[in-house]
Structure 1
Amino acid sequence: METFEGGIVVRSVIPAFRFALLTASFLSAPAFAQESAENRNESGSGDGTIIVYGSGTDRNAAATGLDLTPRETPQSLTIITREQIDDQAASTVADVLEYTTGLSVKRVDRGRNLLSARGFDITNFQLDGLPFATGNIGLEESSTVIYDRIEVIRGSVGLLQGAGEPSASINMVRRQADARELTGTVTLEAASWDHFSATADVSTPLTGDGSVRVRFAAEVYQQDAFVDLESSKGFTLYGVIGADLGPNTRLRAGASYQKDERNGVMWAQLPYWYADGTVAKWSRSKTTGADWNAWDTAETSAFLTIEQDLATGWSLKGDVSYFQQTEDSKLIWLWGSPDQATGIGMNVWPYWYLTKPKQWNLNLQLKGHYSLFGRQHELVVGAMYNHLKTGWTNRDPDPATVAPVGDFNAWDGSYPEPTWGPRFRMSGIGTTKQTALYGVTRFQLLDPVKLIIGGRLSTWVRDEEEALYTAEPYRLKKKNVFTPYAGVIVDLNDFLSAYASYTSIFNPQTARDRNGRYLDPLEGANYEAGLKADLINGRLRLSGAVFRIEQDNFAVPDIGYFVPGTTDVASKPAMGTVSKGYEFEMQGEVLPGWDISAGWSHFKATDADGNDVQAHQPRKVFRMATKYELGGALRGFSLGGSVRWESRPPQTAENPGTGETEKVGQKAYWLVNLMGAYDITEQLSLQINVNNVFDKRYYNTNSWFGGYIYGEPRNVRATLKYGF
């Protein structure tokens, strides 16, 4: 039910970035970093490493497979650490991403989110660097209790992901069992709308020498919502074992299970207009749901990694990972424009959806160094297999038992549940397989110049059986698709580097045209260039980038036409789609005890005729999260918060009363959150978070079904944490 709606400003990027470097360069003294480390009461990483916003790991491989620092990575990269997740009291990955540079996180309804970046939807997710498809209820709804950090690589990541959108990839890095002694935390939370939760995270060695270690994390919660009728409860379990099988062999295995039960959930949006064209002003607690609505999900994951060190600095790693989701949603969909006086005019249809997608990922990777022309270079080669099985069933109501909506002005959700018919297959069982060989190398051309080149050879196959939404069985196959990757990094001095990168875009699609034919795969190119700086011995990172994405065959609605034999609106390919823009970001420690993560992004996305695409996405976005730890007599106190600003998206729709086209996107707005914490003892702390401090009333909708979803009003959360 999705609808689809890119001048690079180089002159404004370079001076502003140069100014930021000059004003921050005095921070690069090692003594400053040492003072900060000595004066701060930080949790650390377990090995004595100080954790600040944007750090937490010196290297990552999510973009290319190579072990690179953020400054060595020729793409925009944001790292959200465990400390920042805790400071924001972020319960889900979506909560984390709301304050991440360049990302837009909006609701389709009260059960689902849509994520986007640089003018395109985000469909690329990774678990510990391995690609997984996201479902109707996406991986962004995962509990953060499982993860150590979240890495966001903006732009195309086709080298490791294969088929996908050129928006961004979200790598969720699980917590590891690396503690050599018993350690852990227990937290209790209470918040607005009767939210209560408890979490535990415990690590311990199983052997005296610490060669075998385990970690267990769990969360349980229950809560109501600012929307009438809505309540939810659930729990998450996670366990992992780490073992040194020998001096050169390491094993990691684990599993997680998350279950969420949501009752009274609002599926359809609140109508934007009354029938006469007047904009409706509903209460933020207003719902389109019924008291018997239910939207339940369960996610199971399991993984195994074995890594073997070989001779002369080479290593071989094998990964097997599995993910399954069950979604059972019994809901009603309301649509229309009611009469302002009588409330009459809304339509309704109940729907009982069930799906159980399963996916596997297997990866074998060889990594190491080699000598050539008197210099050392790095190489990664690998083979990957992805297997996804999807499909869903439905139960239609007996039409004779579907009651009318009546007066929507007085709607309170006490709507009679219809009699349900037998379950039937609505979408045929579909299997998507992707096999690939990939390789990438980093050449040390000169001391300050590094060249990264690589490529991926993929075969993508989609088979689907016949069902109601699949008029006939079909097979889509794209064989030996080559995805190149190239990047160059030039160190301008000890702390500043310039980079440029290129990769192609390949994304098969199942959208069909008015003749029933499937559209050709999305194809195009992704270009990016920028500057990156490491200051204060890497504790503060600055970056600026410009990007351009070119894409053909972008599916847009073919208004007035349907796919033959279905009620689906037909699609047509938009050619010459271009998204272009720029980004700035700063992450790390600005002053002793002051952590900050801030970013600005701006893009323009249009088709060949100059029409806006993805018009529901804001074009300008500012994000910031910060925390300051006080010293002296106030030692133990921390103050911080986060800020979000978005421009008005260029979305329009036809007014049902006047027939005129009007702007319907949320006007530009600010959201401000505050945080305060106090270390009661060395082990016990109390944290208070106040979100939407000024109680801003705003729409939080990333799609247009003739309505909108409100964002959360002001709310408060208290967290009591005990560490040992």
Structure 2
Amino acid sequence: MAALLGGMAWCAQHGATAQPAAPAAEQGAQIRFSIPAGPLDQALTGFAAASGIQLLYDSSLTHGRQSPGASGALPPREALRRLLAGSGLEGQFTSPQAVMLRPVPQQGSAADGSVILPEVNVTAGLQQRAWQPVRGYVADVAATATKTDTPILETPQSISVVTRDQMDDQQVQNVGQALRYSAGLEGEYLGAYGSNDEAYSRGFAMDYYLDGMRVLHNAGPGAGTQIESFNLERIEVLRGPSSVLYGAGSPAGIINLVSRRPSDQAGGEVRLQAGSHDRLLGGFTSTGPLNADKTLLYRMTGVGWQGGTQVDGSRQQRLSISPALTWRPDDRTSWTIIGQYAYDPEGGLYSYIPASGTILPNPNGTLDLRRNYGDQNSYNNTRRQYGITSLFEHQFNDTWTVRQNFRYYHTRSVLDGYYPQFFAANQRNLLGVYTRRGMEYDGYTADTHAQARFRTGPVNHTVVGGFDYQGASGENTWYSDRTLYSCDVFTYNPCPPTGGPRYGNPVLRNTQSLNRYGLYLQDQIAWGGWRLLLGGRQDWADSTTRNLLNNATTKMDDSAFTGRVGLLYAFDVGLSPYVSYAESFNPQSGTDAGGSPFKPTTGRQYELGVKYQPPGWNMLLTAAVYDLRQQNVLTPDPNNTLFSVQTGEIRSRGVDLEAKASLNRNINLLASYSYLDNTVTRANDATQGKHPVLFSAHRASAWLDYGFLEGPAEGLRLGAGMRYLGPSWGDTANTLRVPSATLFDARISYDLGALGPSLQGLTAVVNATNLADKQYIRGCYTEGQCFVGLGRTIIGTLSYRW
């Protein structure tokens, strides 16, 4: 993409000589088009959807123009020619998968007989932006690593992008499922419980961001914010410390969720689903201009779903709506407002199951992994969340751009139920307790930065400098009836009623407020094929925690400087080796089970990697090795899984390999492998020298999606995938080993538009995950607290797009 844009910019300055089109475009196979006459911009949207070819043009060129349409089996070049007939525009293939539109030139002849074209004005509107839709599985540009629209091939740190097309093909139901086929990511460690987004990479929990600003997500199972995956355009994953640009954070990196934004091209989708466990879903998204000059754009996205889960007596339900409005008075100014609201009246069952009778032998028999061993009559898991996001950008000139982003978010949740803990000595009676946790938080984030692009001699600079703020305040309350209840689970199903919980005074109740400020500066330096990334940041953080049970107040006040450096060389053949170093700093928000605030953590990572994108191929191959360390790391509390503890220092070393490809409009490919060796290198107990729980040393995945473009199977697509989850440790002493699991996924879809023009836009899909219905334990905290993996799930989808 960088070479393409660079060539376009050269043409804009010097004029261009017409050359023969790329052979792949000239000899492309025929595609069935059914594009009616009408507005040209709508016709071009239909062409791009049918052909998979990216169209680059300034939207002002098509404004007010009409198209005669195109129908029948045609080569893409001929179909585009027909669509543009009479418009005064023509298309130039800049690659087999990209076309630039321009006015039909007044031609002159050069001395050598070639055709000289007039100067082409390439505007910023032609650049691929990191929030825009991507056709297929391969994104060329990402902003999470640099806060600029930088080619992934030129970014000296490991980054992955999950596109909307990939999420739709795999019909993911939450963000954790969307990460299944990315290298080294664990987004489903809670197994079948899908109401909490918490992902791990390189041995640590990752931070969640929405449109470049942090969201409170990991306040506890069912308690933090969960962003609806249907509202997203893409997911960008940055591995490794990212404090220089984002401030306080985990050394694992960040998951940046990118919202669907308004478009100046009218379009949308209506989706209906039905599937396993009586799941029903209805969703829609609609976008387009609100006025003739397209200065005001809208998008409205909504989804509602309900159904049971694989566990008896457990249900999930959600209603989500996200309106968005963009004001774009000119091509240099954009202001987008996005609203978010979600209500989960039922969040599913958060519970665990003992290792005895599942992955360990039990003399009394085997436990049923689909059974609810809690009290079905007392369980309550509800959540309500809402917020508003403002994204403003203004480009003063070719050098200076300023951006100002802000978000307010509110989350309120209750998690109430009976939780089995462990077996009694007879290995028949399962003991458990009732607990109730309530949480209510308000969060504020703001980020203001300026970007300057300039040259110093032969060296190009992209400098970003800014100030950001993160604040949160809220209250956390936890109850327990302090009684161990017993049930002979091999005799009773369900267990006899206990009479419900008998809560007294709370065992924990506190309020907490935190403020984080940061100043940062970054320079991306380009000289020939060299890319040097330098960055530094100063952070300040304070928090106040008040224990409402004893009126004790704990305050924290910290500051730190973090740095980052990366060096990359971009060869013309599409190969980019790199080396990088990055640091993290994180004054922890939250408390341990005793109500004490966590200490700050620090981290550092060395990474060596290579990226490869073969010229002319829509493919990206990446490989990275790393050494990552964090001090005062948070790990799950083995005695109370709603909280975490700090055990000192953990070292992670490993390898991440990933491949993504979208070829010939009908082949999509994903493959990944990761190796992780993480060890507690410093602790004041027996965990020193041990491996933390939950993390697999080996993980691998592969996915292939193939579509038939012609013949009797035209419109049919088939997909299949495999995921290998290696064994992990289930206790801090490393005596309980959780077995590995190999899972298979599949999909079949049919484009009903292949049957006739009247069905254009309709698609029917069936997806199946864990096709063989493998019964497995996903991970354990202790011998008494293991999480059941998600069993076979089948979902049928009927969607209509326009």
Report the TM-score, using the length of structure 1 for normalisation: 0.85
Match of 2:234 in 1: 149
Worse-matched range after superposition: 211-220 or 424-433: 424-433
SS at match of 1:709: strand
Aligned counterpart in structure 2 of residue 96 of structure 1, from 156, 171, 178 = 178
Output the CA distance in 2 between the equivalents of 1:556 and 1:355. 21
Aligned counterpart in structure 2 of residue 584 of structure 1, from 657, 674, 686 = 657
Match of 1:55 in 2: 138
Output the CA distance in 1 between the equivalents of 2:424 and 2:28. 60
Contact 2:573 2:614 in 1 (8 A): no
Match of 1:535 in 2: 614
Listed as ranges, the matches of 1:466-615 within 5 Å are 466-468=547-549, 472-479=552-559, 481-509=560-588, 520-537=599-616, 539-554=618-633, 573-575=647-649, 577-590=650-663, 593-608=666-681, 611-615=689-693
Match of 1:669 in 2: 741
Stretches of structure 2 that go unaligned for 5 or more consecutive residues are 1-20, 34-47, 57-96, 98-133, 683-687, 754-759
Contact 2:281 2:306 in 1 (8 A): yes
Match of 2:413 in 1: 327
Worse-matched range after superposition: 641-650 or 80-89: 641-650
Is 1:382 the counterpart of 2:466 in the alignment?
A: yes
SS at match of 1:193: helix
Is 1:197 the counterpart of 2:277 in the alignment?
A: no
SS at match of 2:188: strand
The count of residues paired between Structure 1 and Structure 2 equals 672
Output the CA distance in 1 between the equivalents of 2:732 and 2:751. 52
Contact 2:160 2:237 in 1 (8 A): yes
Worse-matched range after superposition: 225-234 or 59-68: 59-68
Output the CA distance in 1 between the equivalents of 2:635 and 2:154. 37
Match of 1:357 in 2: 441
Cα pair distance change 1:104/1:276, threshold 3 Å: closer
Output the CA distance in 1 between the equivalents of 2:136 and 2:357. 43
Match of 2:400 in 1: 314
Worse-matched range after superposition: 419-428 or 95-104: 419-428
Worse-matched range after superposition: 428-437 or 585-594: 585-594
Output the CA distance in 2 between the equivalents of 1:511 and 1:205. 44
What amino acid is the match of 2:728? P
Aligned counterpart in structure 1 of residue 260 of structure 2, from 166, 175, 183 = 175
SS at match of 1:84: helix
Output the CA distance in 1 between the equivalents of 2:383 and 2:512. 20
Deviations 1:346-383 (A, max 9, x none): 33322222111221101111012122134321111111
Output the CA distance in 2 between the equivalents of 1:175 and 1:102. 26
Is 1:218 the counterpart of 2:302 in the alignment?
A: yes
Larger Rg: 2
SS at match of 2:166: helix
Output the CA distance in 2 between the equivalents of 1:645 and 1:490. 34
Deviations 1:412-450 (A, max 9, x none): 156345365567582311111100011101112x30111
Offset at residue 104 of structure 1 (A): 1.3
Is 1:250 the counterpart of 2:329 in the alignment?
A: no
Offset at residue 303 of structure 1 (A): 0.6
Contact 1:432 1:462 in 2 (8 A): yes
Match of 2:113 in 1: none
Match of 1:43 in 2: 49
Match of 1:160 in 2: 245
Offset at residue 405 of structure 1 (A): 3.0
Offset at residue 63 of structure 1 (A): 1.2
Offset at residue 663 of structure 1 (A): 3.0
Cα pair distance change 1:429/1:266, threshold 3 Å: closer
Deviations 1:53-97 (A, max 9, x none): 4435x4222112232111111111111111110111112111112
Stretches of structure 1 that go unaligned for 5 or more consecutive residues are 1-28, 655-660
Cα pair distance change 1:37/1:189, threshold 3 Å: farther
What amino acid is the match of 1:492? F
Match of 2:370 in 1: 285
Match of 1:119 in 2: 203
Deviations 1:32-62 (A, max 9, x none): 4787797599738997477444435x42221
Cα pair distance change 1:590/1:249, threshold 3 Å: closer
Is 1:721 the counterpart of 2:794 in the alignment?
A: no
Worse-matched range after superposition: 675-684 or 385-394: 385-394
Contact 1:367 1:379 in 2 (8 A): yes
Offset at residue 505 of structure 1 (A): 2.4
Cα pair distance change 1:329/1:524, threshold 3 Å: closer
Cα pair distance change 1:708/1:46, threshold 3 Å: same
Output the CA distance in 2 between the equivalents of 1:677 and 1:648. 34
Output the CA distance in 1 between the equivalents of 2:698 and 2:439. 36
Deviations 1:114-142 (A, max 9, x none): 421111122x1111112233232377842
Worse-matched range after superposition: 681-690 or 610-619: 610-619
What amino acid is the match of 1:574? G
Output the CA distance in 2 between the equivalents of 1:294 and 1:513. 24
Output the CA distance in 1 between the equivalents of 2:500 and 2:699. 44
Contact 1:53 1:83 in 2 (8 A): yes
Contact 1:66 1:379 in 2 (8 A): no
Output the CA distance in 2 between the equivalents of 1:515 and 1:294. 25
Cα pair distance change 1:613/1:186, threshold 3 Å: same
Output the CA distance in 2 between the equivalents of 1:474 and 1:30. 67
Deviations 1:4-26 (A, max 9, x none): xxxxxxxxxxxxxxxxxxxxxxx
Output the CA distance in 1 between the equivalents of 2:770 and 2:668. 21
What amino acid is the match of 1:220? G
Worse-matched range after superposition: 107-116 or 669-678: 107-116
Output the CA distance in 2 between the equivalents of 1:648 and 1:436. 40
Match of 2:316 in 1: 232
Higher RCO (Cα < 8 Å, 6 or more apart): 1
Contact 2:606 2:628 in 1 (8 A): yes
What amino acid is the match of 1:188? L
Match of 1:447 in 2: 528
Output the CA distance in 1 between the equivalents of 2:160 and 2:203. 18
Cα pair distance change 1:474/1:721, threshold 3 Å: same
Match of 1:429 in 2: 511
Deviations 1:675-720 (A, max 9, x none): 0100112211100112111121111235336132222222211100
Match of 1:694 in 2: 772
Worse-matched range after superposition: 543-552 or 412-421: 412-421
Output the CA distance in 2 between the equivalents of 1:340 and 1:641. 45
Is 1:622 the counterpart of 2:622 in the alignment?
A: no
Output the CA distance in 1 between the equivalents of 2:619 and 2:406. 35
Cα pair distance change 1:349/1:430, threshold 3 Å: same
Deviations 1:382-433 (A, max 9, x none): 1101001133124554x7xx69433222141563453655675823111111
Output the CA distance in 1 between the equivalents of 2:652 and 2:516. 27
SS at match of 2:623: strand
Contact 1:685 1:720 in 2 (8 A): yes
Contact 1:276 1:340 in 2 (8 A): no
Output the CA distance in 2 between the equivalents of 1:455 and 1:718. 49
| RMSD of equivalent CA atoms | 3.3
Contact 1:213 1:241 in 2 (8 A): yes
SS at match of 1:612: coil
Worse-matched range after superposition: 537-546 or 697-706: 697-706
Offset at residue 513 of structure 1 (A): 10
Output the CA distance in 2 between the equivalents of 1:536 and 1:687. 33
SS at match of 2:547: coil
Output the CA distance in 2 between the equivalents of 1:570 and 1:338. 26
Output the CA distance in 2 between the equivalents of 1:234 and 1:568. 23
